Structure 1
Amino acid sequence: MQPPRIKEPSRWARWLMAAGSGNSYRYIEELIAAGNPLFALGQFHTHGGANTSADSGSDIAALLSAWKQDGAELKRRFDTNQDEAIDLPEWEFARGEARVEVNRRRQPGAPPPAVEVLGNTLDPDRPYLISAAAHGKLVAQFGGIALVFIAISAVAAVILSWGALVRATG
């Protein structure tokens, strides 16, 4: 069953909307049902899922912070040269042990769920667009509107040039 569609604006209304009201964006909301084709342009990211690194930096940092709370225990475990200070090689060893501990605590085979996100790009020349219309239909619709405005601009340029020529010679 198809969802109810919003009434399409007339051709003239679409042309006026394409001319814009000075805004660089326009929102038209419509329901896109599951299974319907989708055309999307933007920056796509996947967060979480099987591609997530098993040694989460924040989990390791939290464990190291907890270990730092008990300085005597930290020195007992990792001060291998007994100089009462944790030097760089000993700290790297502690970080490795924390990574092993974090991996041990995690449930095997249970990666966090993947979340796909389509968002605006950081490049202003690349559009962010989600449409239920096919690419060819979008190109035809907006290409035709662009040709009309190019023709109007060309006619206006000819009229302005003719007016400037008449004024200069007359």
Structure 2
Amino acid sequence: MKKTKQVLGWIAATAILVMISVLQISSDYTWAKTIINEKEKEGWTIVAQDNNYSSLGSPWTLFKTPVSTVSFAGEILKFNEQFFYSKKLVTFYQSFDHTVEDYFHNIYDCYNQKITTVDPDIDSNNFTWDDWEWREIKSNSIDNDFYQYICAKNNGEKN
């Protein structure tokens, strides 16, 4: 009888560990679709996603990395042919569907491939383009994905 209880205890513990693993695996591979559907319903447009998550604690991610970052563009405003403003939302997957969100307000210089992050409460009637710190957009970056999306969408071609 004591042996049977021990075996049942091991079976129960194993079943619980398997269930937790299944829930984690499911969460790892369904998070991106869930967050994309949620944010698109809120009016955001997907611009980029990255599958750069792998962990020894989640060995299945070593074989097929799940999407762990999804970036969205919000409202786009055109200042002129060169400069465009866009809200940017970058979502990061943590675990068990926990999401971290970072919001940015950027202006893109479509002629010079530069970007600046601005205060969302700027007085659009009282600033100059030199008021901000402009930075080059690196080719393999989320900023470049946004640059290509915003400048191509609004100028009809990729720069």
Higher relative contact order (CA 8 A, sep 6+): 1
Q: Does TM-score exceed 0.5, indicating one fold?
A: no
TM-score normalised by the chain length of structure 1:
0.19
Higher helix fraction (1 or 2): 1
Specify the structure having the higher radius of gyration (Cα).
1
TM-score normalized with structure 2 length: 0.20
Specify which structure has the higher proportion of strand: 2
